[in-house]
Amino acid sequence: MNKVSKDPFGGIKGDATFKTSSPFKIDKEEALKQIQNSINNWKKKKTKKTFLGRLIYRQTDKIVKSYHWEYTDESKKFVDIHLYWSNKILRTLFNVPLRQVNRGLTGLKKFYKNISSVRPDLSNPNILLCYNQTATNYKLPLKKITFKDQIEVRHLDPFDGISGNLSKNIKNALSKDKLVAMKEIDNSIKIFEQIFNKNFNKSENIKKKPKNFSQNFKTSPYYFDIYLFWGGTLIREIKRVSKDKVKKALISLKMFISEFNIFNPDLKDPIVKKMYLASKEKHRPKKKSNKQLLSVSEGGMSYWSYKQHKWITGQYNKKGNKFIPPKKNL
């Protein structure tokens, strides 16, 4: 008589009816669940309750984390909204007014719903971000960024067209440099379009020179050099790009800068790491400062935080006669 083996899993069975899905489909389903939780949490925050209602809410309501939004600061007057996919924040809209938050979150839900799990539109840079994040997590091949030549091509906006304000609340050294880099690339694209506009008067002087491109040959308007500047440092350049490819390269450069994650930069990427170190060096406390405000390597007490991505410095009290050292391990 055969002895029946004891089940090491205590009789627990897997779901035999479950059909294998692609990792991208799994991430889409999870994103839809998470954005609905975020929307529900926002509505609860905005709903006015009686004292008894608030008491019951605290005692009975299950707290579910909101991955897609957080208050910008303690004043709770503005909100940062995140494009969150496959356990990572891919983009952030900063300092969104409270009246526009629901619209932004609803826009994210619409964006997730419209992503095809079978044939995602990878010409949409935001969908491409999501696809490559899934690929990274599951160790699958990444798709290269490809852009259409026309800058006017419009894709579904994850945030439904609302815009935040990065300059309202600069959080770290990376966000400061990203703001500058975005303004510079926008200006460069605008100037390039002006130069090759048939109605542009060649004799007119352009008030602000482009930072991200220059003419390769002084006597020929057909080849250009293109630059990636960050934190006042030249990070990378390509030379002798033909005129018909410059606009496409500048648009690609703009997307690369906009995708730079100021909270969790990928320091395994050599270009991102070079940009990161450029920010660190640019914002290093100056030598003309009080010695205690200098970096530790220069005899001071300031140190670079790899958590907050900025220099942590001490400060003087209100009377200015006592130096308060910086807190450690921030």
Among 78-87, 254-263, 295-304, 315-324, the minimum mean pLDDT is found in 315-324
**Residue 241: beta bridge partners?**
224
- Higher per-residue confidence, 106 vs 15: 106
Please state the rounded mean pLDDT for residues 115-141.
92
Torsion-angle region of 86 (φ positive above 0: left; ψ -120 to 50: alpha; else: beta): left
Residue 66 inside a domain? The answer is: yes
Task: Please tell me the total count of domains within the chain.
Answer: 3
pLDDT of residue 20: 56
Maximum average pLDDT range among 56-60, 150-154, 244-248: 244-248
Q: Is the pLDDT of residue 48 over 70?
A: no
pLDDT over 70 percentage in the chain: 78
Residue 235 inside a domain? The answer is: yes
Residues 148 and 36 in one domain: yes
Residues 36 and 132 in one domain: yes
Q: Is the pLDDT of residue 168 over 70?
A: no
Average pLDDT of every residue of the chain: 82
Distance CA 102, CA 46 (A): 10
**Residue 224 sits in which domain range?**
170-278
Residues 175 and 158 in one domain: no
What's the pLDDT band for 137 if we cut at 50, 70, 90? very high
Single-letter amino acid code for the residue at 279? S
Residues 50 and 162 in one domain: yes
Please state the rounded mean pLDDT for residues 188-210.
74
Please state the rounded mean pLDDT for residues 319-328.
78
Please state the rounded mean pLDDT for residues 219-228.
88
Residues 186 and 161 in one domain: no
Residues 101 and 58 in one domain: yes
Residue 208 inside a domain? The answer is: yes
Residues 146 and 211 in one domain: no
Please state the rounded mean pLDDT for residues 232-239.
94
pLDDT of residue 22: 87
pLDDT of residue 259: 82
Residue 56 inside a domain? The answer is: yes
Single-letter amino acid code for the residue at 27? D
**Residue 236: beta bridge partners?**
228
Residue 67 inside a domain? The answer is: yes
What's the pLDDT band for 281 if we cut at 50, 70, 90? very high
- Higher per-residue confidence, 274 vs 12: 274
Greatest alpha-carbon pair distance for the chain in Å reads: 101
pLDDT over 90 percentage in the chain: 38
Residue 16 inside a domain? The answer is: no
Please state the rounded mean pLDDT for residues 21-25.
87
pLDDT of residue 218: 78
Three-state DSSP class for residue 108: helix
Residue 2 inside a domain? The answer is: no
Block residue for tokens 């991430």: 27
Residue 137 inside a domain? The answer is: yes
What's the pLDDT band for 4 if we cut at 50, 70, 90? low
pLDDT of residue 14: 61
